[in-house]
Structure 1
Amino acid sequence: MVEERINNAERTNRQTLPRWVVGLVFAALIGFLVLIGLGLRRTQEGPIVIGQKVPYFELKTFDGEVYNTQQMQGKVIVVNFWASWCKPCEQEAFELEEAWQFYKPRGDVVFLGVDYVDTEPEAKAFIQQFGLTYPNGPDLRTRISQMFRIQGVPETYIIDREGRLAFVKKGPFLSVTEIRGAVDPLLP
């Protein structure tokens, strides 16, 4: 009789514990599936496409200034992804700087250089070597490049005055004329 009570008690404990464990496993599984779903949704969203509103982002420059899409609203924004180790980036560096010098006095065009997967000393040396004066900063944790879904460097994205993606260039610009051909149609 005592042995029967012990067996019944063990059976009751076995039934209670598995329910608790099953509940915990079920909750963890639901959480895991939600995370996978969010990841798949993000993957399926793909890159920002021409005509689509560009989400908010900010870039802290190597000089410590912060630029964000909200403060640049109403301006054309040229976002160039580059790296110091990128040879094609060297090819377009002078053209980008020359185009920046052309547009800078207008005040309604902003150039942003986004340094991709680089070290700060090498990035700063690149900026100095090519005499870049437009704002440049690191893409910390690759947040901006992930948002644009860049495939490599150099890549340039031009945002119109309404905050929509208007132009994408994969690879280096070969001339200032090419840059102006992308920016000028977006200006009043």
Structure 2
Amino acid sequence: MEIKTKKHTNKLVGFFVWCLLISLLVFVAIGMFQTSLGPLRSGKVPNFSLQTFDGKTYNLNELNGKIIVINFWASWCEPCKEEASDLEQIWLNYKSRDVILLGIGYADTKVEALDYLRTWNITYPNGPDIGTKISRLFRIRGVPETYIVSKDGYIIESFVGPVTYKTLTTILNKLLQ
């Protein structure tokens, strides 16, 4: 009787080991597939909700009819500093023209993010990407990354690396015609 129980226990342990191994392989395969997709470059913009550092909430699906510039940044990112004043100028010059700029702090602490915003005198809406949920929707691999979304909610342009005032104004002026 004891031998039967031992064989049964061994089979059960073996079954659980195989289940664990298969689960691990599936998990790794999914991760490799998602990584191979690369950053989001076109199509309907994923819906998300961003609570800014000052407590206001922006739901992307409620911004239809506006051109949206989405910028992923981090306080520790040197290239983000290169584009900071250009993005602020875009905000100041276009906010009255149905353009909204949303800054999304990536993998940063609240203290460092707020210090970055103060240092660069950034006034456009900014909030943290808690748990990198928004970054995963866009398949962000690094910062800065910037997306321009049309009034009907489609990504029409994306940039990996710092974006310039001149580049953004050219695109925004075309969209506003």
Letter in 1 for 2:39: P
Matching of residue 18 in structure 1 with residue 10 in structure 2: yes
How far does the alpha carbon of each residue in 1:118-165 deviate from its partner, in whole angstroms, 9 at most, with x for none? 232232222223322210112222222233233433221112223222
Rg (Cα) greater in structure = 1
Q: Is the 8 A contact 2:39 2:141 kept in 1?
A: no
Once the two structures are superposed, the pairs formed by residues 1-188 of structure 1 within 5 Å of their partners are 9-50=1-42, 52-106=43-97, 108-175=98-165, 177-187=166-176
One-letter amino acid matched to 2:24: F
Q: What's the Cα RMSD here?
A: 2.3
Structure 1 runs (4+) deviating above 6 angstroms are none
Unmatched runs of 5 consecutive residues or more in structure 2: none
CA distance in 2, matches of 1:27, 1:89: 44
Q: What is the Cα deviation at residue 86 of structure 1?
A: 3.1
| Shift in alpha-carbon separation, 1:48–1:140, aligned structure 2, 3 A | same
Distance 2:55 2:48 in 1: 16
CA contact (8 A) 2:39 2:138 kept: yes
Cα deviation, residue 100, structure 1: 1.0
Please state whether the residue corresponding to 1:84 is helix, strand or coil.
Answer: coil
Q: TM-score, normalised by structure 2?
A: 0.84
